[in-house]
A and B are shown apart, each in its own frame.
Chain A
């Protein structure tokens, strides 16, 4: 299975969590749905769809909690016939993050996924950097490459 981390400090905690909790798919993302690390997906664009949906669920329940005048819900669980989905937020030095875990009911359980989630939170907090100042990324003359890429995409 593919384990991939955009930010390397997330890799070991995520790998440990997958191993201990027996999760099938795991995403670690920002509340806006940007993926920091993932386990189990093959195509980057499929990861994005799952992250967008997970972030949307999280944003919705957080807003509902706000309207009820209470702190955000700690976690959310949906249980199907074969798979379960566990979704929870956490705060680290990197900022607020969201974890989406999918588990097979014949391999793992909500109890296991929840139990080791606490350890995941501890590990992520211990390893997270402080939010940094944005660095310059692209060369100033990126426009030509952007135009070529978009023209290719649209077949022009």
Chain B
């Protein structure tokens, strides 16, 4: 849930990057970390296994600057995508203001994407949150792979995007779509704040 300090005029929001294992959640954060000036970001914290798979979460705080007179900061989290780590995935979702679902565009990963989206819905429900009320953006990552290996954005919209949510094709490794995704989820989260509601 967003934290608003009316005295110091500060807003802090939590955004969680969710999705199946190896879909590119951590890659999104690495790209943001690399592009944002040091003065506007904190340390990137990664709780990972020895093989660099996310164990608990990655965390990156960024300072967006002044919006409507409020110093606005976003805390970006990823969850571990592997099925085995559902308990920790559920913990990271606690208090989320918005979710970016990072799907793997490879055709052979379609079932994993669907399972992960269903898992997101279930884990949000465990926190008493209806996914339909949560700011949510879809990112179709790895669109740079050979065409015969991947599904198009339209195919993925058909399979995953029943509610016509904002969706973005991406190649997070090279930054394609990363900015657009972050911008879209930021808008949705702040729009809820401007309407006086929170997740």
A84 beta carbon closer than 8 Å to chain B: no
A-B contact count (CB 8 A): 136
**B59 engages A52 (CB within 8 Å):** yes
The residue from B47, B91, B191, B195 contacting A59, defined by CB atoms under 8 A apart: B91
For the complex of A and B, list the 7 residue pairs with the smallest distance between their C-beta atoms, beginning with the closest.
Answer: A32-B95, A45-B42, A136-B196, A138-B194, A48-B61, A34-B3, A6-B5
**B1 engages A153 (CB within 8 Å):** no
**B95 engages A150 (CB within 8 Å):** no
Known: A31-B94, A33-B95, A60-B88. A137 touches B196 (CB 8 A): yes
**B77 engages A45 (CB within 8 Å):** no
Task: Determine chain B's interface SS by DSSP, over half rule.
Answer: mixed
Residues of chain B having any CB pair with chain A under 8 Å = 1, 3-8, 10-12, 14, 35-37, 40-43, 45, 47, 56-57, 59, 61-68, 70, 72-73, 75, 77, 87-88, 91-92, 94-96, 179, 182-183, 186-187, 190-191, 193-198
**B residues less than 8 Å from A32 (CB atoms):** 1, 14, 94-96
**B49 vs chain A, min Cβ distance (A):** 16
Given A140-B194, A142-B190, 13 extra CB contacts under 8 A: A6-B10, A44-B63, A45-B61, A46-B43, A48-B42, A49-B45, A53-B59, A63-B87, A134-B198, A149-B64, A150-B183, A152-B65, A154-B179
